[in-house]
Structure 1
Amino acid sequence: MEKNAKILVVDDDSGIGEMLKTLLEFYDYEVFVTEKPQKTQELILQYNIDLVLLDMLISGVNGTDVCADLRQNPETNKTPVLMMSALHNAGPKCKEAGANDFIAKPFEMEDLIEKINQILGQ
């Protein structure tokens, strides 16, 4: 496992963002949280992010659009994206947008850590 990998959590629910930050920090990740999906690219570059944990539905913005934009930018197109959603059948849409993987909400923390480790190990 890559210790101190930097993870950016993009979720408009600050409670979920802060909970994920606390839990991921317990696993020795450095975690940044934003409720502003339009800041995703800027934050990836600013903090040299290793992985983006991106919610699919973020206040008026579709996370799949954010993911697709990351894939089109040469500066961010290699940054791994793990998308999450409680929507039924969201996984295929997220992968079509370029997400490396998908996790359905609600999820077990062990499952999330396993997926993060798999992606960072790729």
Structure 2
Amino acid sequence: MIKKILVLEDDQDILYVVQEVLEYERFLVKGISNCQEVLKLGEEFVPDLFLLDFRLQDGNGGEVCRDLKSHPLFAATPVIIFSAYAQKNIDFSAYGCDGVIEKPFDLDQLIEMVNLLLTKTSV
């Protein structure tokens, strides 16, 4: 069964690259650049994993993660936050995310973490 990933990223170049790489790895990917639409799209798409940028023009990926983790449909869905601020004394675990990837990130590292988290949830 094909796994679905919802990516929240407001940098269109990064969003494009992440979508292309994940689709190449045989995931079904939806990209979005607006924090306000994540829950609505998530309820329609029902992804197996969320990939969220931390700093967004219209919000904070950590807060989106917290909202997702408190939603009954997504409480057990893995969430990865990726951020250029990973070393800035931000406690990402406080948001309830399952993984953090520092920008700029290695695409192999991204795929590895996605596969690891999806394997954990399908057991």
Give TM-score, length-normalised by structure 2. Answer: 0.90
Q: Which amino acid aligns with 1:31?
A: V
5+ long unaligned stretches in structure 2: none
Q: Which residue of 2 aligns with 1:105?
A: 103
Does structure 2 retain, via aligned residues, the 8 Å contact 1:64–1:93? no
Q: In the aligned structure 2, how far is the partner of 1:109 from the partner of 1:91?
A: 24
Q: In the aligned structure 2, how far is the partner of 1:21 from the partner of 1:7?
A: 9
Q: Which residue of 2 aligns with 1:39?
A: 37
The ranges of structure 1 where at least 4 consecutive aligned residues each deviate by more than 6 angstroms after the TM superposition are none
Q: Which amino acid aligns with 2:71?
A: N
Q: Which residue of 1 aligns with 2:94?
A: 96
5+ long unaligned stretches in structure 1: none
Q: Which amino acid aligns with 1:8?
A: L
Q: Which amino acid aligns with 1:41?
A: L
Task: Provide the aligned length of Structure 1 versus Structure 2.
Answer: 120
Aligned residue for 2:15, secondary structure, equals helix
Instruction: Tell me whether 1:18 sits opposite 2:16 in the alignment.
Output: yes
Instruction: Tell me whether 1:52 sits opposite 2:50 in the alignment.
Output: yes
Does structure 2 retain, via aligned residues, the 8 Å contact 1:56–1:94? no
CA deviation map 1:14-58 (0-9, x unaligned): 111111111111100111000011111111220120101100001
Q: CA deviation at 1:88?
A: 4.0
Alpha carbons of structure 1 residues 48 and 12: separation in structure 2 relative to 1, 3 Å:
same
Aligned residue for 2:42, secondary structure, equals helix
Does structure 1 retain, via aligned residues, the 8 Å contact 2:34–2:58? no
Q: Which residue of 2 aligns with 1:65?
A: 63
Give TM-score, length-normalised by structure 1. Answer: 0.91
Q: CA deviation at 1:69?
A: 0.8
Aligned identity (percent) is 32
Instruction: Tell me whether 1:4 sits opposite 2:2 in the alignment.
Output: yes
Name the Cα RMSD after superposition.
1.5
